[in-house]
Amino acid sequence: MYLNSKREDFFKSFQISCQGATSVTTFVVFLCDKIAPALRQAVYERTAKSIAEDMQGKFPDFQGSRANLEVCILRYLAEQENFEYFKEYLTYPKQFSQSYIEKEVQNYCLDGSRRLEKFLDSSLDLLYRNILSAVTSSTQIVKDRIDREDRISLWLDEFCRELTEAMNLPRSDLKSIEHQEVSDIEFLNNVMANAVADLRDSLRKEFADADMSVFSRQPHTILAEQFSGCWEQCPFCGAVCTNTIPKHDGDHRLVFHRPKALTGWSWLDRHCQFEICSNLIQSDCRFRFSGGEWFPYKTYRDAGPPVSTWNILPDSSMQAYWKWFVCRFRTELEALHSLKFQGRGEIPASWQAITKQQALSELGSP
């Protein structure tokens, strides 16, 4: 009799502890299934930001204004010395700048040192520690509340609250497990800690093959936002307005206008106009847009928009960079715009003497 009752007790408690273990496991599996996608997303978001911040600290390209970035791009273009790149930059300055930044980010993240994986790992480590500390503090808070019947619900409240900043894990998604009966909170704590470590390990394996496509908000997009502003191009030379506010009030303006030949302007005899617009507006010359009415440069605003929306200040100086460029890519420019650097469009001899090195040192260092 005695033995029998002992055996019954033993079986009872065994059953209870099995049930307890099962319900803890069910609880943890369910919770980790919810944490996994939220954690992955949080790692990507945090990583995109840290890559952008890291590059802002290390690359002179990203340490200043858009004017500074432009100097970096002009240097890059001169180093590459590829007319196709120039053409793209001159025609679509905004797109070119964005893809320039994108390329920089890709090289930085995916070169031999596999920085992308390291960035992902360190974000993962940080978030992993956040989750662990949320587990510990939720357990701590609930442990002493033997008076409460809804301890698991309380645990979940605390857990989600702790993680609010770190990731998107809505408490409402966890309603179906909040009434789970878990008596041994310490046991839950330990199972949870192990499960979260497993989750970290499997994500880490996943990151070994990661490429830039994992980011919904790309690091290069974050970097490019710093250079937002007006992207209107001078109707004469194609240089970009330097105002830092998109759709700003007042006139568009910029400091360094360029030779008009870059955008294909010519004299009537199809001879190139190597002149710079800020100098032409001081001359007695006239202009017209594709067969339209003629206007004196001196009163260029009379031509209406888009010219009238620009404030072009008289300035006869021209960057050596563009003089070098016109000489270096003379043939390509002639072919591109079906023009000739002849007669009135003959390139001044002084331009020919400018070396790439001179052009670059005048640009200054970023």
Among 71, 203, 230, 281, binds Zn ion (CB under 5 A): 230
Segment lying near Zn ion (by CB under 5 A), choices 10-18, 40-48, 230-238, 300-308? 230-238
The separation between CA 300 and the C-alpha centre of its own chain, rounded to angstroms, equals 39
Among 234, 240, 318, 360, binds Zn ion (CB under 5 A): 234
Taking the complex as a whole, the smallest distance from the CB of residue 39 to Zn ion amounts, in Å, to 43
Segment lying near Zn ion (by CB under 5 A), choices 12-20, 48-56, 218-226, 250-258? 250-258
Number of residues that bind Zn ion (CB under 5 A): 10
Among 24, 77, 241, 354, binds Zn ion (CB under 5 A): 241
Residues in contact with Zn ion, shown as a per-residue x/- string from 263 to 292 under the rule CB under 5 A: --------------x---------------
Residues 6 or more apart in contact with residue 212 via CB below 8 angstroms:
105, 106, 109, 110, 116, 218, 219
The residues in 286-325 that bind Zn ion, with binding defined as CB under 5 A, are none
SS3 271: strand
Among 252, 323, 328, 330, binds Zn ion (CB under 5 A): 252
If one asks whether residue 240 binds Zn ion (CB under 5 A), the answer comes out as no
Separation between Cα atoms, residue 221 and residue 99, nearest integer Å: 10
Among 257, 323, 328, 330, binds Zn ion (CB under 5 A): 257
What Cα–Cα distance (Å) separates residue 49 from each residue in 220, 254, 306? Answer: 10, 31, 38
Separation between Cα atoms, residue 114 and residue 107, nearest integer Å: 10
Q: 131-147: b or e for each residue (b if 16 or more CB lie within 10 Å)? A: beebbeebbebbeeeee
Among 70, 162, 232, 275, binds Zn ion (CB under 5 A): 232
Residues 6 or more apart in contact with residue 236 via CB below 8 angstroms:
257, 260, 263, 265, 277, 280, 287, 307, 312
Among 27, 62, 227, 236, binds Zn ion (CB under 5 A): 236
Separation between Cα atoms, residue 45 and residue 231, nearest integer Å: 28
Segment lying near Zn ion (by CB under 5 A), choices 69-77, 241-249, 288-296, 354-362? 241-249
Taking the complex as a whole, the smallest distance from the CB of residue 244 to Zn ion amounts, in Å, to 9
SS3 240: strand
Nearer to Zn ion, 20 or 93 (CB): 93
Radius of gyration of the chain (CA): 33
Separation between Cα atoms, residue 126 and residue 336, nearest integer Å: 54
The token pair at 285 is 């010359």
Taking the complex as a whole, the smallest distance from the CB of residue 281 to Zn ion amounts, in Å, to 9
If one asks whether residue 131 binds Zn ion (CB under 5 A), the answer comes out as no
Task: Answer yes or no: are the C-beta atoms of 204 and 125 closer than 8 Å.
Answer: no
What Cα–Cα distance (Å) separates residue 115 from each residue in 40, 55, 211, 254, 348? Answer: 18, 12, 11, 38, 49
Segment lying near Zn ion (by CB under 5 A), choices 70-78, 105-113, 206-214, 239-247? 239-247
Taking the complex as a whole, the smallest distance from the CB of residue 273 to Zn ion amounts, in Å, to 12
Nearer to Zn ion, 169 or 307 (CB): 307
The token pair at 295 is 């206007």
Q: Note the residues at the interface with Zn ion (CB under 5 A).
A: 230, 232, 234, 236-237, 241, 243, 252, 257, 277
